[in-house]
Structure 1
Amino acid sequence: MCLMLVRYSSAVTQLDVTNFGAVGDGMTDDTHAFLKAWKAVCSSTRQFPTLTVSEGKTFYVQPLHFQGPCKSRKIHVKMNGAFLAPKKKDWKICDDVWKTFSSINGLTVNGNGKFIGQGASWWGSAGDDDSQSVRFDNCKNLQLSGVTSINSAMGHFSIIGCDRANISGLYMKAPKWSPNTDGIDLSKAFGVVIHNCTMATGDDCISVGGGIKNLTITRIRCGPGHGISIGSLGKYGRYETVENVLVRGCIFTDVQNGARIKTWQGGSGHVTGIKYDNIILRDAQRPIIIDQSYCPDRHCKLTRGTNLKINNVSFTNFRGMTATLRAITLNCSSYRGGCTRVALKNVIIRKGIISAEGSPEGDDDVERCDKVYAYCKNAHGSATATIPKVPCLT
């Protein structure tokens, strides 16, 4: 049974969940205590009511939905303690998200607390029923900072429709091999800022989905993981757009991909105004990649092109080592003129310790000389002061 947290009238300012019967011993089910506490906080008429998750305690809870709108214009959740998720066998399923915050404008969630997802109980049987850890849905002006997410079943944080969110100082950790454990998934939002976070996980550190516009990502430490990705976009033929994304001052360490744009065949829409700048690479397997034939399970029927246009993309001031010989991949669709206005400037990528995966297959036109190289198809633009040379860019 999934629990929806309902509101009632109160004039409280600060509430500690232990005052509502929560034990916080990591074994007692504290779900109903959080039900009661949220009712009081969300219905408070005070200026900035606060729900405190007590320091030094671990609260075992089933899936919870913190539902708004609330009476106050601003709500504060002070996370000093830890939330512990049930293992898969103990999950009371009615939702695929462990914690959801929805329709709560002016929400602040901060502190040094932890979300402990117990993902190991899910990873061995990964499938469509896997659980996301924490979702923020339609929370305008969200402030999320300081907290840690450990071993999420799937994604650590999902941010949907949260215009003008500010996300900082987060720490995410899951094993390198853990499936689908994205750090932050974003979609359908305007003016989001993400900065000063550390992400060591099994999938994308940050995944930028459809409907994102004016996104700024700075000072991210990513790795292990799959880099910072635009996409995937256009799955199942969907129309999706991403506009004006800046990724700057990030470090990629032991990543499967670095700066990536990925689209499915058959999709439509556009990606424009993407800037990756001032990136440090530490053994990145595929440091720069545009892939318009994205097919992660290798069972796609790669017979259709994509109408999803990629335009005005730049990669500037990259330094570091690649763990695959193919350092740069610009694999663009032939539809709609390919990828246009692609610019590489001051990109210096040198050979590091080559991983067992090696470079992608199918490069018959490239002579293998154990040197770092670039592959490009249907890409148009410029490359200056770039190593390796990019043959299709002037």
Structure 2
Amino acid sequence: MTKNGSLCTVTPSGGSDDSPDIMAAFKQCGKNGQIEITEGDFTIAKVMDVLDLENCDISIMGKLTWNDDIQYWLRNSISVTYAQRSTAWRLGGTNFSIRGHGKALFFGNGQKWYDQNRNQGNQAGRPISLTLWRAKNVFIDGITWRQPQFWHTFVAYSENITMTNLDMNATSNSQWNTVNTDGTDTWNSKDIVIKNWVVTCGDDCISIKGNSSNVYVKNITCYESGAMCIGSLGNPAYTPDYVDNIWFEDITAIHSSNAAWIKTYPGTGHVRNVTFKNINFRDVNQPIYISPCIYSWSNCDGSRLQISDIKWENITGTSRYNVGAGIYCSRSAPCTGLKFSGIDIKPKDGGTAKFLCSNMNSDSGLGCTGTCPYGWKQQLTGNA
């Protein structure tokens, strides 16, 4: 690492751990400075935790490879509180940017994690690739991820965050699936813009978790994912979760589990004022879905987490089976203000899609064809 005035430049060491040099750059130029990580191959063998950035522009041109010392990461990855998750890299502060110029590549050696986890996704210590933590006024652009260890990104306790032109891909090359390699999850954060992403991840593409508000998502293409998701919320039940003012627009989902959906535990709080607009998909298991009892599919009517004022506009494509929508709302807190327009969902093998609805407002415009059974599963294995 070399420093010239307020500019710190980091070049690759040629195989040894480069994280100390990167951390030195953050320490010396992270306030009122610039950091340049040049082209070349960098090895990251230690956690990186930087929470005091201020008026800093970070430029990354190289490939950052996190090593595959699983035991080190399990012992040392940094807690991010939510659901006992942790991260390999945590960034926080005020007024900073990370620009990848379309050249930055973050390689997580994820295959080692996928094989080691054997289709289990929530191993304690398995690290999120990059976390924004108590960050304010941040711009991230032009970065590519391949084989992340866990979630690609996480935004927590942050505000005024813009993330554009990101390319994410978690694909397993073995018998074991990636499992829980979300594109991004937001939590306790507000005023977020997410635009122009391509994501292949095997789990939620964009996931809006508790106490998130004012999130705008546009022009996202998701492969093999859960696409646009509110949740999970409501766990633990005694801690209310609130989600307000979320907008998803111009979304494409290919061979995914769901397209535009909401999942909660039997909890408390609310989901309010969400729009899913111009969602186009191909071969999606169950495009529109609401569950108040995700994963256990029990105590569904015990949830008091109110879902209201949700719009689905121009939702078009092919479903894998004959269900276009499965909507079960809690009897303790029926859904209100659900509105549907421009819904055109056709089963890919022909026939007519079913729209199953329970405990929701009757003036939704969906044209429900039947009731949705209690405990309706997220993943279907055949026609209803």
- Indicate the TM-score class for this superposition, using the shorter chain for normalisation: 0.7 to 0.9
1:360 — aligned with what?
A: none
Q: What's the CA shift for 1:371?
A: 3.8
Aligned to 1:165: 161
| C-alpha deviation, 1:35, in angstroms | 2.3
In the TM superposition, residue 242 of structure 1 has moved relative to its aligned partner by: 0.1
Deviations 1:337-361 (A, max 9, x none): x00111111100011159xxxxxxx
Q: What SS is found at the alignment partner of 2:28?
A: helix
Judging changes above 3 Å, is the alpha-carbon distance between structure 1 residues 88 and 306 closer, same or farther for their aligned structure 2 residues? Answer: farther
Partner of 2:382: none
Give the letter for the 2:312 counterpart: F
Contact kept, 8 Å, 2:43 with 2:67, in 1: the verdict is no
Alpha-carbon distance between aligned partners in 2 of 1:212 and 1:131, rounded to the nearest angstrom: 22
Match of residue 87 from structure 1: 68
Q: Which residue in 2 is equivalent to 1:136?
A: 132
Distance 1:52 1:353 in 2: 52
Q: Which amino acid aligns with 1:382?
A: D
1:164 CA drift (Å): 1.2
Unaligned regions of 5+ residues in structure 1, if any?
A: 1-9, 355-369
Q: Tell me the secondary structure at the aligned position of residue 135 of structure 2.
A: coil
Residue 51 of structure 1 is aligned with which of 30, 35, 52? Answer: 35
Aligned partners of 2:41 and 2:65 also within 8 Å: no
Write the distance in 2 (CA, Å) between the matches of 1:301 and 1:246: 29
Q: Report deviation, 1:321.
A: 0.7
2:90 paired with 1:109: no
Looking at structure 1, the residues matched to 89 and 355 of structure 2 have their Cα atoms a distance apart, in angstroms, of 43
2:42 and 2:65 in contact (8 A); partners too: yes
What is the CA–CA distance in structure 2 between the aligned matches of 1:136 and 1:301, rounded to whole Å? Answer: 34
TM-score by length of 1: 0.84
Tell me the distance in 1 between the aligned counterparts of 2:71 and 2:37: 23
What residue identity is the alignment partner of 2:199?
M
Give the direction of change, closer, same or farther, for the CA distance of 1:87–1:278 in structure 2 (3 Å limit). Answer: same
1:303 to 1:217, Cα distance in 2 relative to 1, 3 A: closer
- State the one-letter code of the partner of 1:106: N
Measure how far apart 1:56 and its partner are. 2.9
- 1:204-262 Cα distance to aligned partner (Å, 9 max, x none): 00110111111111111011111111000001213100001110111111111110100
1:12 to 5, 22, 41: 5
Question: 2:271 is matched with which residue?
Answer: 271
Residue 383 of structure 1, CA deviation = 4.1
Q: Distance in 2 between matches of 1:101 and 1:254?
A: 33
8 Å contact from structure 1 (residues 292, 306) kept in 2: yes
Q: Paired residue for 1:343?
A: 339
The CA distance in 2 between the partners of 1:223 and 1:89, in whole Å, is 27
SS of aligned partner of 2:129: strand
What is residue 122 of structure 1 aligned with on the other side?
Answer: 113
| Residue 372 in structure 1 maps to residue 339 in structure 2 | no
| Distance in 2 between residues matched to 1:289 and 1:244, nearest whole Å | 19
- Looking at secondary structure, tell me which structure has more strand per residue: 2
Rounded Cα–Cα distance in structure 1 between residues aligned with 2:368 and 2:281: 18
Give a deviation string over 1:303-349, Cα, whole Å, max 9, x none.
7611100010111111111112111011110013x001111111000
Matching residue of 1:317: 314
Count of aligned residue pairs for this structure pair? 349
Mark the CA change 1:66 to 1:137 in structure 2 (over 3 Å): closer, same or farther.
Answer: same
Inter-CA distance 390–276: structure 2 relative to 1 (3 Å threshold): farther
Change (3 A) 1:329 1:162: same
Q: Quickly say closer, same or farther: Cα 1:64–1:378, change in 2 above 3 A.
A: same
Give the SS at the match of 1:142: strand
Q: Kindly indicate whether residue 143 of structure 2 is the aligned counterpart of residue 152 of structure 1.
A: no
Contact 1:88 1:121 in 2 (8 A): no
- Structure 2 residue aligned with 1:33: 21
CA contact (8 A) 2:292 2:300 kept: no
Q: Any gaps of 5 or more consecutive residues in structure 2?
A: 78-85, 373-384
Match of 2:303 in 1: 306
Asked if residue 66 in structure 1 is aligned to residue 50 in structure 2, the reply is yes
Please say which of residues 247-256 and 93-102 is displaced more in the overlay.
93-102
Shift of 1:88: 4.0
How far is the alpha carbon of 1:301 from its aligned partner?
5.0
Q: Within 2, Cα distance between the matches of 1:382 and 1:316?
A: 15
The 3-state SS of whatever aligns with 1:376 is strand
Conservation of the 8 A alpha-carbon contact between 2:233 and 2:241: yes
Question: Residues 157-181 of structure 1: CA distance to partner in whole angstroms, max 9, x if unpaired?
Answer: 0011221111110011012731110
- CA RMSD in angstroms comes to 2.1
- 8 Å CA contact 1:383, 1:390 repeated in 2: no
* Structure-2 separation of matches of 1:303 and 1:245: 24
Match of 1:78 in 2: 59
- State how far apart, in whole Å, the 2-side matches of 1:199 and 1:179 are: 14
Q: Deviations 1:57-79 (Å, cap 9, x if unpaired)?
A: 33333211122054xxx111101
